[in-house]
Amino acid sequence: MRVAARAWFLSILFGALAGTAPAQSQEYQIDPAIAAKLAAIGNRVNVGEAVKIYVPLQARTPKEGVKHSDDLAYGRDPLQRLDVYEPTVHPANPMPVFIYVHGGGFTGGDKTNHETGPFFANLGYWFGRHGVVTVLANYRLAPKDPWPTGAKDVAGIVAWTHAHIADHGGDPRHIVLMGEAAGASHVAAYALEKRFQPLSGSGLAGAILLSGLYDPALETKAAPRFGINGPGAPNENYYGKDLSRYAMHATLKHLTGPKLPVLIVYNEFDPPIIQVEAGILFGALCDHFGDCPDLMFVPHHVQGSAMFTINTADEWMANKLLDFIRDPAR
């Protein structure tokens, strides 16, 4: 298993550095004009440019058949709020539940930013129409609230969902938790580290990690090789300025949680360090679980853009996630 894990890591690493992609990309069709715009962004983190591509497409997307309850409190802080999307007509049986935790470099982001677009309400509308109760959550931000506030807030989000999601038609026994970028770092900490879970366990049916960073110590050591400036950049806002404590904060060094279905996702144009960490986490979970997690490569996309396709005519990403949400243990 260790050999297989290292092989997967090397394939991702060399693919990230050489610009190659797994054969899975052949099954994904994308508008050539959009692909060209995404390629022009490349490995730079520029979510604003990706937003500009997809806002016009989202303006024409359906919102019927789904209702939502906004800014429900799961804690006392103004940022500890979440939105719940559900079908207007519930099926006879409780529905699977999908929690999405946004990114934003540990210092920003929003569950539904009406100024820049429908994101991430687009997830609520699409998954709601497909019979999945969807929770979009905010969390406290750095530098005001540093490590491990993100993981603790994810624990609060999951606890609220267990207590209240049945009121919205959801099944508290079938919760899939997803995080993107900084959100993936927080979700990974909760889902994979026992220290952030209640004694009863994570309460999850599965976890999805998209474009996350899981080892700030590694990122700091490797920063010069990846053109990242500063001794602790970009992690010190959340993890602090004391680099000697970074290993203690790293999820990759504390994989103590019980076995859980996990889907690791990375984009073709994610920054190389993110692709490398996806490979390292994959190998580490192969060893920790004794079985390898799911791994998904998203062709053509830059950091942030893949989730913007959801609730447009491009349903590739949405359908891939829906398959995992419906049956994480497949």
Q: What is the pLDDT of residue 4?
A: 45
Q: What is the total count of domains within the chain?
A: 1
* CA distance to 113, 131, 139, per residue, from 116 (Å): 6, 27, 19
CA 153/CA 150 separation, integer angstroms? 5
Predicted confidence at residue 114, as pLDDT, reads 65
CATH (domain of 144): 3.40.50.1820
**Which pLDDT score is estimated for 26?**
52
pTM equals 0.93
What is the pairing mode between strands 81-87 and 66-73? antiparallel
Contacts of 40 (CB under 8 A, 6+ apart): none
Render 134-195 in DSSP notation, one character per residue.
EEEE----TTTS-TTHHHHHHHHHHHHHHHHGGGGTEEEEEEEEEEETHHHHHHHHHHH-GG
Residues 119 and 113: beta-carbon distance below 8 Å: yes
According to the model, what pLDDT value does residue 106 have? 96
User: What are the residue ranges in the chain where pLDDT is below 70?
Assistant: 1-26, 114-116, 230-234
Give the pairing of strands 95-101 and 262-269. Answer: unpaired
Query: What tens digit of pLDDT does each residue of 69-108 get?
Result: 999 999 999 999 999 999 999 999 999 999 999 999 999 9
Q: Give residue 226's pLDDT.
A: 85
Note down the domain range covering 97.
Answer: 2-326
Q: Which residues contact 95 (CB under 8 A, 6 or more apart)?
A: 86, 87, 131, 132, 133, 169, 170, 171
State residue 221's pLDDT score.
87
